[in-house]
Structure 1
Amino acid sequence: MRSLGALKPTLLSKLKCVHGGGGGSKEKSGTEKKHSPSISFSLALRFMLILSFAMLSLSTIFVLALDFSVTKRQDAEIEKSLSQISQSLLSSPMDELAFLPLPYYMTFAVWEEGSALPLATNDSLLPLLDSGGKNQTYFEKDFFTDSDLLIRYKSERVTLGEKELLIECAIDIENDSASKMISALPQLIFLSLPPILVLSFALSMLISRKTISAFKKLQEKYDREKAFTANVSHELKTPISIIDGHANLLKRWGKDDPKQLSQSIDAILKETENMSRVVTTLLDMSRLENGRVKIEKSRFYVTNLFVRLKEEFSALYPEMHFEIIDEDFIELETDEAKVHQIFTAILSNSVKFAGKKCRIKLSANKNGGKTELSAEDNGPGFAPEILPHIFERFYKGDSSHDRNISGSGLGLSIASVLANALGASIKAKNAPTGGALICLTFD
Structure 2
Amino acid sequence: MFDEKQKQLKNRIRRIKLSTRITLSNVVLFTILISISMYFVTLLTNQFLYFKNREDLQTTQLKIQELLYSEKDTLSAMSPDNRIPHIFRLLEDYYIFDNYKTLVTLFDTNGKTSYPLNKDVYDLLILDQFKINPNTVNFNVTFNKDILQGKEILTFELFKKLNASETIKYKDVSLLVPTRGEAPFISESSIMGFEVMYTVVRIDIGDDYSLLASVFIYPDLDQDFLLSLNSALLVSAIIGILFLSIFAKFFTRKALKPLVDLSKIAQGVDNKILNYRIPPTESHDEIDTLIKSLNTMLENLEGSFENQKRFVSDASHELRIPLTIVLGYIDLLKTMGTGNEALLKESLDAIELEATHMKNMVEKLLTLARLENNRIKVTYEEIAVSEFFKKGLEECVRLYPLYHFKTELNFDGLLYIDLEIMTQIFRALVENAVKYSLEDTTITFKSEQRNQYIALSLIDQGRGIAKESIPNLTNRFYRLNEDRNRRTGGSGLGLSIVDALIKAHGGHMRIESEVGKGTSITLFVPKRKTL
| Residues 60 and 308 (structure 1), Cα distance of their counterparts in 2 relative to 1, 3 Å cut | closer
- Count of residue pairs brought into register by the alignment: 282
Q: Is the 8 A contact 1:323 1:361 kept in 2?
A: yes
* Structure number with higher relative contact order (C-alpha < 8 Å, ≥ 6 residues apart): 1
Letter in 1 for 2:436: F
Deviation at 1:180, TM superposition (A): 2.7
Aligned residue for 2:383, secondary structure, equals strand
The residue aligned with 1:271 is 354
| Equivalent of 1:247 in 306, 314, 330 | 330
Unpaired segments ≥5 residues, structure 1: 1-49, 64-171
Q: Distance in 2 between the 1:327 and 1:274 partners?
A: 39
The residue aligned with 1:182 is 238
Matched, 1:286 2:359: no
Q: Is the 8 A contact 1:428 1:438 kept in 2?
A: yes
Letter in 2 for 1:302: V
Aligned residue for 2:468, secondary structure, equals coil
Deviation at 1:257, TM superposition (A): 2.0
| Equivalent of 2:424 in 337, 341, 345 | 341
Q: Is the 8 A contact 2:311 2:476 kept in 1?
A: no
Note the 1:335-414 alignment, pairs <5 A: 335-397=418-480, 404-414=487-497
Q: Is the 8 A contact 2:463 2:517 kept in 1?
A: yes
Aligned residue for 1:308, secondary structure, equals helix
Q: Is the 8 A contact 1:330 1:364 kept in 2?
A: no
Note the 1:307-318 alignment, pairs <5 A: 307-318=390-401
Q: Is the 8 A contact 1:228 1:282 kept in 2?
A: no
Q: Distance in 2 between the 1:364 and 1:416 partners?
A: 18
Q: Distance in 2 between the 1:293 and 1:51 partners?
A: 44
Task: Tell me which structure has the larger Cα radius of gyration.
Answer: 2
| Residues 227 and 380 (structure 1), Cα distance of their counterparts in 2 relative to 1, 3 Å cut | closer
Aligned residue for 1:385, secondary structure, equals helix
Q: Distance in 1 between the 2:379 and 2:471 partners?
A: 31
Identify the range of structure 1 (364-373 vs 182-191) with the bigger mean alpha-carbon deviation. Answer: 182-191
Note the 1:28-427 alignment, pairs <5 A: 55=22, 178-185=234-241, 229-397=312-480, 404-427=487-510
Q: Distance in 2 between the 1:403 and 1:235 partners?
A: 10
Identify the range of structure 1 (237-246 vs 296-305) with the bigger mean alpha-carbon deviation. Answer: 296-305
What is the root-mean-square deviation in Å for CA atoms of aligned residues? Answer: 4.8
Q: Distance in 1 between the 2:440 and 2:339 partners?
A: 42
Q: Distance in 1 between the 2:244 and 2:335 partners?
A: 93
Q: Is the 8 A contact 1:366 1:372 kept in 2?
A: yes
| Residues 180 and 386 (structure 1), Cα distance of their counterparts in 2 relative to 1, 3 Å cut | closer
Deviation at 1:351, TM superposition (A): 0.6
Per-residue displacement from partner, 1:281-303 (whole Å, max 9, x unpaired)?
Answer: 11111111110010000011122
The residue aligned with 2:223 is none
Q: Is the 8 A contact 1:338 1:418 kept in 2?
A: yes
Q: Distance in 1 between the 2:486 and 2:441 partners?
A: 16
The residue aligned with 1:110 is none
Deviation at 1:280, TM superposition (A): 0.8
Aligned residue for 1:381, secondary structure, equals coil
Q: Distance in 1 between the 2:464 and 2:29 partners?
A: 75
Deviation at 1:338, TM superposition (A): 1.3
Identity of aligned pairs, percent? 29
Q: Distance in 2 between the 1:224 and 1:387 partners?
A: 18
Letter in 2 for 1:377: D
Identify the range of structure 1 (292-301 vs 213-222) with the bigger mean alpha-carbon deviation. Answer: 213-222
Q: Distance in 1 between the 2:299 and 2:508 partners?
A: 23
Q: Is the 8 A contact 2:425 2:498 kept in 1?
A: yes
Deviation at 1:219, TM superposition (A): 9.1
| Residues 179 and 281 (structure 1), Cα distance of their counterparts in 2 relative to 1, 3 Å cut | same
Q: Is the 8 A contact 2:467 2:513 kept in 1?
A: no
Q: Is the 8 A contact 1:173 1:179 kept in 2?
A: no
Per-residue displacement from partner, 1:87-119 (whole Å, max 9, x unpaired)?
Answer: xxxxxxxxxxxxxxxxxxxxxxxxxxxxxxxxx
Letter in 1 for 2:459: E
Q: Distance in 1 between the 2:331 and 2:241 partners?
A: 88
Letter in 2 for 1:183: I
Letter in 1 for 2:354: E
Q: Distance in 1 between the 2:301 and 2:323 partners?
A: 32
Letter in 1 for 2:511: A
Per-residue displacement from partner, 1:181-219 (whole Å, max 9, x unpaired)?
Answer: 22344798999x99xx9xxx9999999999999999999
Q: Is the 8 A contact 1:350 1:358 kept in 2?
A: no
Q: Distance in 2 between the 1:288 and 1:273 partners?
A: 23
Q: Distance in 1 between the 2:372 and 2:404 partners?
A: 34
